[in-house]
């Protein structure tokens, strides 16, 4: 059975880009006679605003979507802690006290996901009283897993290349898990078989495939869809004040008609669909 999910974070209102992503996931599940899940990713500390969750539900209903809701991330903390402890005990994680400014000062090499951590803290004795993140030792992990592959519905078979991202953070200093660990564990727990998300997250899938191998998790297929762009050519984002679905809904706009336009590729002026 095809199982997809839409997993928004309640740190800002949904916009057209979220609507498009939810519609893609919803329609792929429905076309296959499967299940479409809603999962709230709410472990982003003080940035998470619980009151937005009901707003999200109203937005999806306004778009004409039907879903099953699964437990939010905040209910799964023990699962994240257990997995992180397992990876740490097996030598795949190491503590890192570096700040973003300290890493940037080293002028690190840039990869597909930004600055590649130069491994400053790997093998160092650190002050146990200092706050530390936990990073994944990519080289050690890949030496044990060997070559890994994964399949994208649009781009085909991929050979996992997690080294391109460097030793990514698995447990943040301010949260019980990074996106990489939480999303990977959640998709397995929710029995997601087709992970749908924007093409901007394509590089992250290499890391997620490695984590699945290390943790013995099932391997889904992926579908990285194109992105909706604003008139400056940038993807729609909460931080740039992209118009919210809630504002459109409350103004009396027809949500089902908007969903039909998104499905048909008819976007508001200045917005185009970027192919992955």
- The 3 state secondary structure assigned to the chain is CCEEEECCCCCCCCEHHHHHHHHHHHHHHHHCCCEEEECCCCCCHHHCCCHHHHHHHHHHHHCCCCCEECCCHHHCHHHHHHHHHHHHHCCCEEEECCCHHHHHHCCCCEECCEECCCCCCCCCCCCCCCCCEEEECHHHHHHHHCCCEEEECCCEEEECCHHHHCCCEEECCCCCCCHHHHHHHHHHHCCCCEEEEEHHHCCHHHHHHHHHHHHCCCCCEEEEECEEECCCCCECCHHHCCCEHHHHHHCCCCHHHHHHHHHHCCCCCCCCEECC
pLDDT the model gives residue 240: 59
Q: How far apart are CA 75 and CA 234, in angstroms?
A: 34
User: Which CATH fold would you assign to the domain 77-179?
Assistant: 3.90.800
The pLDDT of residue 236 is 67
pTM: 0.91
The pLDDT assigned to 234 comes to 67
Q: Which pLDDT does position 270 carry in this prediction?
A: 38
Correct CATH for 3-73+226-274 of 3.40.50.620, 3.30.200.20, 3.40.50.12780, 3.40.50.980: 3.40.50.620
pLDDT at 261: 92
Cα–Cα distance measured from residue 256 to residue 253, given in angstroms and rounded to the nearest whole number: 9
> Residue 232 has what pLDDT?
63
**Looking at residue 24, what is its pLDDT?**
96
Report the chain (276 residues): mean pLDDT per 10 consecutive residues: 97 93 97 98 88 97 98 97 97 93 79 79 80 95 97 96 93 92 98 96 96 98 88 64 87 96 72 42
Each domain of the chain, given as residue ranges in start order, spans 3-73+226-274, 77-179
């Amino acid at each position: 059975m095809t199982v997809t999910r839409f997993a928004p974070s309640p740190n800002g209102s949904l916009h057209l880009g979220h609507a498009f992503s939810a519609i893609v996931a919803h329609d792929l599940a429905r076309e296959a006679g499967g299940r479409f899940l809603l999962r709230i990713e709410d472990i982003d500390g003080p940035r998470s605003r619980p009151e937005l969750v009901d707003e999200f539900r109203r937005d999806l209903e306004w778009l004409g979507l039907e879903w099953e809701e699964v437990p939010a991330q905040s209910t799964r903390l023990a699962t994240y802690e257990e997995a992180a402890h397992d990876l740490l005990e097996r030598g795949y994680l190491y503590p890192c006290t570096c700040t973003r400014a300290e890493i940037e000062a080293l002028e690190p090499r840039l990869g597909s996901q930004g600055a590649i951590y130069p491994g400053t803290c790997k093998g160092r004795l650190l002050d146990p009283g200092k706050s530390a993140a936990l990073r994944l030792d990519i080289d050690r992990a890949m030496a044990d897993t060997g070559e890994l592959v994964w399949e994208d519905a649009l781009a085909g078979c991929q050979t996992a290349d997690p080294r391109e991202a460097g030793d990514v953070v698995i447990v943040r200093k301010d949260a019980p898990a990074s996106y990489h660990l939480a999303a990977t564990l959640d998709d397995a727990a929710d029995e997601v078989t087709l992970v749908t998300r924007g093409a901007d997250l394509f590089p992250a899938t290499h890391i997620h495939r490695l984590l699945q191998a290390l943790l013995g998790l099932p391997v889904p297929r992926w579908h990285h869809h194109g992105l909706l762009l604003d008139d400056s050519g940038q993807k729609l984002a909460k931080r740039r004040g992209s118009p919210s679905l809630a504002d459109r809904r409350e103004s009396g706009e027809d949500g089902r008609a908007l969903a039909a336009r998104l499905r048909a590729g008819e976007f508001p002026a200045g917005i185009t669909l970027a192919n992955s």
